[in-house]
Amino acid sequence: MSNSATTALVLFAHGSRNQAWRAPFERIAQKVAAQTHCVVELAFLELMEPSLPQVLQAMAQQNIQKIVVVPLFFGMGNHVANDLTALVEAFTHQYPLVQVEIKAPLGESDVVLNAMADYAAHSLV
């Protein structure tokens, strides 16, 4: 990831009516920001704010030229395959000069899957 002020990272999560659900995602965003030294924002599909369109538009207005979206979902379900894609397409239609890259959902990463398996296995100790 570039450390340039023209590149930003959006962590995209589902959202919940329960505000406590947000806390782990905020911790992830803080850790990522400390590691990358770039703009890092959370965005939510529904039930929480800011929404993805709000975050993307704010970034475009800050002259950010490249936005990387990391879906904090376990797999490529309808929310990632359809909803996220539609939201990004609507944004890029409005802001064609901003490059948006959608990464694979975090649950498809071997690093994440191994960490989850390790956590589960160590819960027996």
CB-based contact 42:29 (threshold 8 Å): yes
DSSP string for residues in 36-77: H-SEEEEEESSSSSSBHHHHHHHHHHTT--EEEEEE-SSS--
- Please confirm, yes or no, whether 14 is among the known catalytic residues: yes
Catalytic hit among 14, 37, 79, 93: 14
Q: Catalytic positions, please? A: 14
